């Protein structure tokens, strides 16, 4: 056993070091393949020896599928905002005030980048991450430790030496441009509302209840302030350099300055250089370096006197609106798109900008041929922010919004409670049909290679495919009639269609294009219902008991299968050999639990939540996501969610603790040793 523990400890240290080299230093020393092999080995050893599990193991960074919401705790030190300035003169005046307030003393100013994300406070005890808390209202915030653990640039266990036994470090959770573009491309493809900028995306991601989804989105973090009673140095700069040596990502832009000229040059440099950074910044921050001087300068009611933020002015351009086109999406939503006289903005040429919906068009009072102001939200997404009315042409008319589908001519309908207009001709409107075909063949759906947007349109226009179930009737000869197809490319598509018959049922559900059902929701629905016949017959009320499926999604599913076209497509897919049920689970080792349904809630001592889920399935039970009248037991740990407690009590469902559960399955050997308690300021 000692050999196993030593190997696990070695692998954890190695993987943590490799994560730091890759995500913080941007200088990996091993290949992705070797990294994956080490990770797989560690995962296997931890599965075989659950008694050696550690919640801070790098294998847990992907997050579990369940999180119970967020508790709130008070901050040790208030998280105040900074006073803002918008000109170099304002910054110079602030520096002069610092000099006047500290007469006869040498004043060093630290210049830093102001990252555009969401603030976070991390608590470390004995070198291990203990708590992660959002800024909240400055006095208290939400505990988001499980989500923060998925961010690979954040150390779970500190490296180096010299760190205090207990300290707080503050930083900014950000979504890099690359991850932001990927996320918005996915949302646009699924016709979900786009994030306006990386800041909103980072804040929204950090508050998701599914740590696995948080992990997938690719958050990053930069740190900028250290707090505690026993910090290694008496100045801010050296403390942050120490934090860097412990594994934290501290920006290399941080600079010490001793004159107004240096401060002004710092501003001029980063006003341009920031555009080359991989993450969004909205300004700079200047701080008095010496900690004793910070204490002497003190705080106002809202912000520290010893720091100030300089905000970069938003870059915008004036250009002419040439026309507006109306795009029809896969779900029929009509999106107005402004076609602009090309203009250079933040280093790129902008020709088009989404106007989102009719309400936005009306609020801007846009007329045909107007000169419009264009900005980049978060310096990424072009948006029209205003109109120069003084340049409006005489006799110009307000921009008309279409009343009929621009493709099929069907009168549009307004979605109740929303701003979007929709073409209701779901099964006769070509862009919607083509969009569903393109969605069906996508990599995360049926993964049929060789069919993109153009090919899907060509197949439809040639009369070869009228809906996605027709794909399974395609032959090589059919494809050879289309431009761009040769024998080998046609054979590859037909082979891809054949291979798609083995795609798991969870992905088939996502591929069907059920309104409001995304990838994660489709997976949870499939696992809950088991097969397509159950899915087509469940009521909206019953569907709403599935985790993450509320009344709107449940009704969308019911309405989808109430349509004969969709039911016919399902039957044709079934006849073609597409999987219409989840793969049969492995036979449980014993059937102690006899198919009983369990809901797990709270924090446990003997085993992790995931381990209890495994034990339930291994002993013949079922894991369900939410409490209903069909739930047999609630397995409850500490801090059980109050809503679940209330519902279980109301329905009379037995609530058992982990000792009772372990007695039920008669296997106390699965217990992990109870960890030595780590004292916490919040306990």
For the chain, what's the residue count?
Answer: 683
**Phi and psi at residue 486, in whole multiples of 5°?**
-115, 180
Distance CA 430, CA 460 (A): 8
Q: Are 501 and 447 in contact (CB under 8 A)?
A: no
The alpha helices in 171-330, defined as continuous H runs, are: 177-189, 198-206, 211-217, 236-245, 260-273, 291-297
C-alpha torsion 619→625→631→632, nearest 10: 30
Report, in angstroms and rounded to the nearest whole number, the Rg of the chain calculated over CA atoms: 29
Strand order in the sheet with 348-354: 348-354, 334-345, 316-328, 371-377, 381-387
Identify the three-state secondary structure at position 472.
helix
Distance CA 80, CA 299 (A): 9
**Which one, of 86, 192, 119, 116, lies nearest residue 380 by Cα?**
116
Angle subtended by helix axes 453-461 and 430-440, to nearest 10: 130
From 114, 287, 426, 524, active-site residue: 114
**Which one, of 643, 645, 535, lies nearest residue 582 by Cα?**
535
Residue 249 annotated to the active site? no
Q: Which residues pair with 635 in a beta bridge?
A: 600, 656
| Cα 98 from chain centroid (whole Å) | 41
Q: How far is CA 545 from CA 38, 442, 527, 629, 656, in A?
A: 39, 29, 13, 10, 21
**Phi and psi at residue 319, in whole multiples of 5°?**
-150, 170
Q: Which residues are catalytic?
A: 114
């Amino acid at each position: 056993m000692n050999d196993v523990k030593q190997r696990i400890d070695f692998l954890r240290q190695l993987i943590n070091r490799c994560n730091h080299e890759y995500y913080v230093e941007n200088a990996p020393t091993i290949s992705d393949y070797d990294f994956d092999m080490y990770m797989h080995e560690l995962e296997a050893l931890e599965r075989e020896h659950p008694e050696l599990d550690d919640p801070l193991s790098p294998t847990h960074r992907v997050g579990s599928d369940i999180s119970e919401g967020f508790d709130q705790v008070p901050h040790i030190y208030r998280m105040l905002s900074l006073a803002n300035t918008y000109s170099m003169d304002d910054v110079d005046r602030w520096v002069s005030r610092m000099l006047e307030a500290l007469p006869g003393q040498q004043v060093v100013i630290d210049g830093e980048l102001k990252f555009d994300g969401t603030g976070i406070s991390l608590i470390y005890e004995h070198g291990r991450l203990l708590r992660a808390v959002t800024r909240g209202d400055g006095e208290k915030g939400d505990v988001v430790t499980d989500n923060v653990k998925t961010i690979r640039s954040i150390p779970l266990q500190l490296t180096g030496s010299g760190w205090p036994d207990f300290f707080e470090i503050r930083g900014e959770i950000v979504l890099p441009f690359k991850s932001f573009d990927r996320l918005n491309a996915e949302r646009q493809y699924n016709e979900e509302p786009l994030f306006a900028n990386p800041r909103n995306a980072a804040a929204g991601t950090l508050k998701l209840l599914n740590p696995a989804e948080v992990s997938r989105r690719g958050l990053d973090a930069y740190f900028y302030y250290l707090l505690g009673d026993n910090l290694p140095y008496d100045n801010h700069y050296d403390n942050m350099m120490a934090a860097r040596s412990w594994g934290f990502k501290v920006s290399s832009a941080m600079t010490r300055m001793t004159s107004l000229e240096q401060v002004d040059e710092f501003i001029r440099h980063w006003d341009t250089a920031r555009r080359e950074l991989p993450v969004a910044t909205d300004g700079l921050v200047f701080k008095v370096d010496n900690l004793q001087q910070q204490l002497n300068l003190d705080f106002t009611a809202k912000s520290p006197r010893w720091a100030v933020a300089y905000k970069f002015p938003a870059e915008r351009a004036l250009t002419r609106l040439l026309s507006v086109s109306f795009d029809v999406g896969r779900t029929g939503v009509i999106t107005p798109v402004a076609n602009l006289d090309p203009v250079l903005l933040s280093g790129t040429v902008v020709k088009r900008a989404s106007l989102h919906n009719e309400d936005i068009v009306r609020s801007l009072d846009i007329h045909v041929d107007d000169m419009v102001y264009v900005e980049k939200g978060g310096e990424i997404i072009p948006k029209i922010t205003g109109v120069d009315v003084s340049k409006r042409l005489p006799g110009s008319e307000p921009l008309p919004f279409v009343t009929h589908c621009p493709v099929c001519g069907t009168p549009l309908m307004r979605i109740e409670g929303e701003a979007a207009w929709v073409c209701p001709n779901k099964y006769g409107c070509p862009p919607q049909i083509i969009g569903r075909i393109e969605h069906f063949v996508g990599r995360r759906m049926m993964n049929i290679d060789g069919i993109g947007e153009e090919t899907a349109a060509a197949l439809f226009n040639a009369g070869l495919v009228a809906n996605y179930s027709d794909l399974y009737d395609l032959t090589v000869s059919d494809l050879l009639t289309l431009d761009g197809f040769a024998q080998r490319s046609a054979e590859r598509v037909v082979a891809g269609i054949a291979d798609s018959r083995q795609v798991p049922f969870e992905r088939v559900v996502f591929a069907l294009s059920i309104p409001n059902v995304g990838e994660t929701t489709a997976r949870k629905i499939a696992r809950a219902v088991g097969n397509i016949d159950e899915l087509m017959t469940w009521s909206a009320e019953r569907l709403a008991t599935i985790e993450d499926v509320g009344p709107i999604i449940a009704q969308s599913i019911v309405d989808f299968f109430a349509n004969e076209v969709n039911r016919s497509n399902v039957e044709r897919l079934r006849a073609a050999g597409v999987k219409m049920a989840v793969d049969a689970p492995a036979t449980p080792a014993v059937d102690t639990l006899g198919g009983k349904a369990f809901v797990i809630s709270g924090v446990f001592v003997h085993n992790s939540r995931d381990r209890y889920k495994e034990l339930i399935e291994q002993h013949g039970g079922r894991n369900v996501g939410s409490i209903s009248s069909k739930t047999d037991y609630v397995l409850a740990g500490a801090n059980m969610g109050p809503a679940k407690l209330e519902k279980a009590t109301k329905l009379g469902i037995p609530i058992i603790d982990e000792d009772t559960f372990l007695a039920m399955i008669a296997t106390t050997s699965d217990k992990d040793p109870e960890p030595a308690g780590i004292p916490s300021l919040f306990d």
